[in-house]
Structure 1
């Protein structure tokens, strides 16, 4: 079972109650910050962006997986695997000479890449939440992808954002929610 934001809020309430029993008073927001630190996150906002919610959907809907159109998976590999650090979860071809369909992931982020003409639209955009956009920026700066030197837009809507464009015109926007 994964730890959720609801679990973190319950833990913060328990922490406040336990401390109150010892005559120590802290605010609810301070308790949330302390629980976030115990879980290994920089602050509550980061934890809340990364942790899922329990009971949010009785049908059990999962996170959507965008399908991005790529013309050649070999070209996609150097960008998505070598540069961005994704790994291949699985690959599928109907026959050896047919187009490839693959699922890649890094952390909680999942993308499907398809060589099929009817899948995805070149030039699509995908918004990806990240816990620390500056750490991602530093990692990508060290890898030096040809003709791509992304920066971080600090005042972007939603929070600091690092945008990259893949070799097929698809845009990935890595955003640290504030």
Structure 2
């Protein structure tokens, strides 16, 4: 896992490499470029995500079915990236991990790993930005944002009957997971 110190070291190396090729950039600009490379909207968002407490990580397993729909929904539409995939052999069900910022999900085609129709809640820091980002895609789903007594929710159903609710908590100091932008 990349740390804040790792990202700063990357920025120093990038700045030195650019300077060696005749392109001068400030340290701040190098940090912004590294933040984008790591999938964050800016250095502040990157720093917050990399500084988040690293307690036990809970990883929901969602049932998907064979075919391209899981990739189209979770990666092309929601902006997750595939971290790894596993099949015991060709033709057998696929098990993969996808992530975006601090959110990690396991998607399984294996019967019995999970039940279609599951629900997952993900706290985010900027629901308005995520909502606009999803509406800017060509994916035919256009979720709305619902005000709730506990904050604002945007529920997005996947093609397999699962529901992912992105939640922006009400009030300052509420815990959130920073979901980085697409880059």
Unpaired runs of 5+ in structure 1? 4-38, 42-46, 55-60
1:163, 1:174 within 8 Å by CA — same for their partners in 2? Answer: yes
Is residue 2:163 matched to residue 1:159? Answer: no
Instruction: Render the CA deviation track for 1:43-81: whole Å, top value 9, x for unaligned.
Output: xxxx7x996447xxxxxx522100000012511011000
1:144 aligns with 2:148: no
* Residue-by-residue CA offset, 1:87-141 (whole Å, 9 max, x unaligned): 0000000011110000000000000000000111100000001110000000011
Asked which structure has the greater CA Rg, the reply is 1
- Counterpart pick for 1:173 among 165, 168, 182: 165
Higher relative contact order (CA 8 A, sep 6+): 2
The 1:162–1:170 alpha-carbon spacing in structure 2 relative to 1, beyond 3 Å, is same
| Number of aligned positions between the proteins | 129
Q: Partner residue of 1:121?
A: 115
Q: Do the aligned residues in 2 keep the contact of 1:50 with 1:131 (CA within 8 Å)?
A: no
* Structure 1 residues 157 and 93: alpha-carbon distance in aligned structure 2, compared to 1, 3 A threshold: farther
Q: What pairs with 1:1-20 in structure 2 (closer than 5 Å)? A: none
Provide the TM-score with structure 1 as the length reference. Answer: 0.66
Gaps of 5+ in 2: 5-42, 171-183
RMSD of equivalent CA atoms: 2.3
Q: What SS does the corresponding residue of 1:65 show, helix, strand or coil?
A: coil
Contact 1:93–1:101 (Cα < 8 Å) also in 2: yes
Alignment partner for residue 77 of structure 1, among 71, 74, 86? Answer: 71
Matches of 1:106 and 1:152, distance apart in 2:
20
Give TM-score, length-normalised by structure 2: 0.64
